[in-house]
């Protein structure tokens, strides 16, 4: 029964994440959802910036700290190892929902090219960015990444094994195509408001710091020489840019 409940928890967490991910597309793109990045009544500038900064910081700290190997060692003394990844995904989704709920719009227009061919190009790039994000998860191990493989292996009482380090498709050209897709999607908007710009700048800086100074160090420690060679051959977010020479 414990294994079955763990599996049900993993399925629930995955579905919860996937709905949250879909909502994030609408939130950033100002489409389909009841509350987006530019919806609502604009409040005082300083207060709005502080609230938004706190919301983004909550996500950044949760997302970064819980992904570190040292934290996982301590965390899996409290919760079963089989649900460690699913719990991480669940809490990341909740942190995103806090952003959706409490984000303060800043509606000053930085640029508006919505009625031009360039605006159409940006809209296409927005969808392409999220397409890159989703596709990239399947180029490594989508089900391991979101905790499903772990709970399924626990249900079957077998050892959960990921596919290991592989350079497939997008990963032949950039080391972190998931993050590349997010950066493209966050910046590619026909109408850029002050609030959207704050979101794009902050998340881009966070992505760079988290990947360059935390995730890559963990990958080198885990994979070793193969990853060091990979860093020398492939750009970090865009082809040819950010190689370690």
pLDDT in tens, 80-123: 999 999 999 999 999 999 999 999 999 999 999 999 999 999 99
What pLDDT is attached to residue 45?
Answer: 96
Q: How many domains does the chain have?
A: 1
Long-range contacts of 120-128 (CB under 8 A, 24+ apart): 120/190, 122/188, 122/189, 122/190, 123/188, 123/190, 125/184, 125/185, 125/188, 126/28, 126/29, 126/184, 126/185, 126/188, 126/189, 128/181, 128/184, 128/188
How sure is the predictor about 214, in pLDDT bands with cuts at 50, 70 and 90?
very high
Average pLDDT rounded to a whole number, residues 205-217: 95
The structure tokens listed for 205 are 């800086």
Domain membership flag for residue 243: no
Domain membership flag for residue 241: no
pLDDT reading at 160 higher than 80:
no
Q: What does DSSP assign to residue 192? A: E
Tell me the pTM: 0.94
CA dist 67 to 30, 75, 82, 84, 227, Å? Answer: 30, 11, 15, 10, 18
Domain that residue 135 falls in: 2-233
Domain membership flag for residue 240: no
> Rounded to an integer, what distance in angstroms lies between the CA atom of residue 150 and that of residue 146?
9
Domain membership flag for residue 239: no
pLDDT reading at 210 higher than 80:
yes
pLDDT reading at 208 higher than 70:
yes
> Rounded to an integer, what distance in angstroms lies between the CA atom of residue 134 and that of residue 106?
29
pLDDT reading at 23 higher than 70:
yes
> Rounded to an integer, what distance in angstroms lies between the CA atom of residue 196 and that of residue 120?
18
């Amino acid at each position: 029964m414990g294994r079955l409940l763990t599996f049900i928890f993993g399925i629930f967490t995955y579905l919860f994440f996937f709905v949250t991910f879909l909502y994030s597309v609408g939130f950033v793109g100002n489409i389909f959802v009841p509350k987006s990045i530019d919806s609502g009544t604009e409040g005082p500038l300083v207060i709005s910036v502080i609230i938004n900064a706190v919301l983004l910081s909550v996500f950044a700290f949760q997302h970064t700290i819980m992904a570190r190997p040292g934290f996982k060692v301590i965390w899996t003394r409290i919760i079963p190892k089989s649900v460690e990844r699913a719990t991480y995904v669940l809490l990341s989704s909740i942190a995103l929902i806090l952003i959706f709920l409490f984000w303060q719009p800043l509606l000053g227009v930085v640029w508006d090219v919505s009625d031009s061919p360039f605006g159409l190009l940006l809209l296409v790039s927005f969808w392409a960015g999220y397409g890159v994000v989703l596709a990239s998860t399947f180029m490594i191990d989508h089900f391991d990444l979101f905790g499903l493989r772990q709970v399924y292996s626990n249900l079957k009482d077998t050892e959960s094994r990921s596919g290991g380090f592989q350079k497939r498709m997008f990963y032949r050209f950039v080391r972190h195509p998931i993050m590349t897709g997010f950066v493209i999607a966050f910046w590619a908007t026909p109408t850029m408001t002050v609030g959207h710009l704050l979101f794009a700048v902050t998340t881009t800086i966070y992505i760079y710091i988290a990947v360059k100074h935390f995730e890559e160090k963990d990958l080198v420690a885990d994979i070793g020489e193969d990853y060091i060679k990979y860093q020398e051959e492939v750009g970090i977010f865009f082809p040819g840019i950010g190689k370690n020479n």
